[in-house]
């Protein structure tokens, strides 16, 4: 009787764990309450963008920015520059990313340096 009780408890715990895993994988509705998110990919690339379809296999990033490191030829100093995607030769208007390659999302808060640079960029290029 005691073994049957223990087996029943173990089965209940396993069922709860499986349900929890299923729920976690299928309920990806995250509170994205800022205009932009920092999207970190598993290859180390970081994009600052508006993100949509996070609950599907492929997420869509729009209004995408990234940081480019530029070396001054004279001083050899490194300067970080925020670049808006779309200025590349193929002129992309969105970036589609496999959601499984997204490692982390963080909000870009309104007073942050990235938010200020994005606002300045939009002021120059409406």
Residue 20 banded pLDDT, cuts 50, 70, 90: low
The rounded distance, in Å, linking the Cα atoms of 89 and 92 is 8
Does 2.30.30.100 match the CATH number of domain 31-124? Answer: yes
- Residue 51: what pLDDT? 93
Give the Cβ contact number of residue 112 at 10 Å: 15
For the entire predicted model, the pTM comes to: 0.69
Residue 106 tokens read as 């963080």
The answer on pLDDT for 14 being more than 80 is: no
- Interior/surface letters 95-111, b for 16+ CB within 10 angstroms, e for the rest: bebeeeebeeeeebeee
Give the Cβ contact number of residue 64 at 10 Å: 21
Overall size of the chain counted in residues: 126
Whether the CB-CB separation of 39 and 97 falls below 8 Å is answered with yes
The answer on pLDDT for 27 being more than 80 is: no
Residue 16 banded pLDDT, cuts 50, 70, 90: low
Residue 23 banded pLDDT, cuts 50, 70, 90: low
- Residue 126: what pLDDT? 43
The rounded distance, in Å, linking the Cα atoms of 101 and 24 is 17
Whether the CB-CB separation of 107 and 94 falls below 8 Å is answered with no
- Residue 89: what pLDDT? 83
**Continuous segment of H or E residues that includes residue 80:** strand 78-84
């Amino acid at each position: 009787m005691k073994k049957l009780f223990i087996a029943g408890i173990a089965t209940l715990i396993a069922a709860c764990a499986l349900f929890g895993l299923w729920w976690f994988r299928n309920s990806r509705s995250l509170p994205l309450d800022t205009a932009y998110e920092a999207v970190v990919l598993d290859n180390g690339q970081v994009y600052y963008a508006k993100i949509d379809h996070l609950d599907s296999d492929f997420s869509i990033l729009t209004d995408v920015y990234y940081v480019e490191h530029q070396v001054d030829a004279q001083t050899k100093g490194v300067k970080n520059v925020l670049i808006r995607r779309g200025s590349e030769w193929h002129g992309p208007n969105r970036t589609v990313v496999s959601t499984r390659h997204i490692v982390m999302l963080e909000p870009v808060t309104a007073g942050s340096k990235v938010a200020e640079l994005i606002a300045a960029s939009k002021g120059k290029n409406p």
